[in-house]
Amino acid sequence: MEQKKEPLWTKDFLLVFGVNFLLFLSFYLLVVIIPVYAKGEFNASTSMAGLASSIFVVGALMGRLFGGSAIERIGRKKLLFIGLAAFLVLTLLYFIINSLAVLLFIRLFHGIAFALASTATGTIAASLIPNSRRGEGTGYYGVSIIIASAIGPFIGLLITDRISAEANFIICSVLALVTLLAALFMNIPRLVLTAEQMKEMKGLKLSNFLEPKAVPISIISFVMALGYSSVLSYLTFYAKEIDLVEAASLFFIVYAVVVILSRPFTGRLFDVKGVNIVMYPAIIAYAIGMVLLSQAHSGIILLLAGVFIGLGYGTLQSSSQALAIKLSPAHRMGLATSTFYIFVDIGIGFGPFALGFITPLVGFRGMYLLIAAMLAASVVLYHLLVGRQQKNGWEKAEGVSVE
């Protein structure tokens, strides 16, 4: 007889899913309109307008470093409320911005608040997911970010175009308030640390800012995020160059649909067969997607690239996060979560800057082809850092902490 599945979609999991969705929706509503707002309101240069958007990522990295190391000492519930309350206050401060310097200041601290809150939601979600359904549950949880990333930029630009940037600030303030109120109804698992564990997590040592067991898979996540940053940042420019703007407007919708539809299968496969059976094909699918993108001469090929990138990067993101948590001790779950996000944030945040030096030399097609080659080579990197230790299944791998 098949063993009964442990429950996943509990009230608390639904609440943390919703809170995380609204957090990321607020982020995506603002990230695309802030450069336009900075230019229009303060006559900022293109580089300074870009900084107004990207300085949020710098703040997020600072918040992740602090949040991951402090979450279990401070407490998951307390860090969540600190992050959500600060996120609400800083969103309200957008209404009093009167200079570019003030905008940069608020964006930096808004990034810190966002990181504290999202590190807490990620850790709480991980603690609510049954260990036997780690891949499946992490995959479903990640859908909250995927949906936000698919609709947020579209809604943000539409509202700014039809009404004003201030209307986005109002919506984001309401969303921030709703997240804070929703968190009040959440029963958050409390982890009691032993005296030895408390001592271990004190002090200014590297292992208190990055979880060592999560670093190898997080390095892979950095490479994958670096590749995806080229899609986020340069797809619009590329689409204009090859005259496929209409198809490009549907790209992220196709990507999101593929991710949402594939998550139940890839997550379950992760739990039943182990991580390698998911990761190797996903990296290959991702590379194929980039090749298709580099060679797109029609809308169909561009959207087909979205399908493969969705199957690839969409699967890699959730599976990598699930493995980072699975490989780490239970009392360092928050640190594992922040370690994963730190590497992803660096890849997404600083990838466009690095790729900006390559694109003038090889063009957009050449850049996407080079990324495809990098992804293909990362199969070997994954095998060396992670895959060979997981060949007999993650539950038997050396150093794995199974709850």
pLDDT in tens, 157-173: 788 778 888 899 999 99
Most confident of 22-36, 298-312, 331-345: 298-312
Question: Which burial class, exposed, middle or buried, applies to 98 when counting CB atoms under 10 A from its CB (0-12, 13-18, 19+)?
Answer: exposed
The per-residue pLDDT for 321 is 86
pLDDT (mean) for 146-159: 81
The per-residue pLDDT for 52 is 82
pLDDT (mean) for 3-27: 87
The per-residue pLDDT for 148 is 86
pTM: 0.81
Mean pLDDT, the chain, rounded, equals 84
Q: pLDDT for 211-250, tens place per residue?
A: 888 899 999 999 999 999 888 778 878 888 899 888 888 8
The more confident residue out of 196 and 239 is 239
Most confident of 3-12, 24-33, 90-99, 356-365: 90-99
b/e burial code for range 18-29 (CB count within 10 A of at least 16 → b): bbbbbbbbbbbb
The angle at the Cα of 117, spanning 310 to 282, to the nearest 5 degrees, equals 20
pLDDT at 191 over 80: no
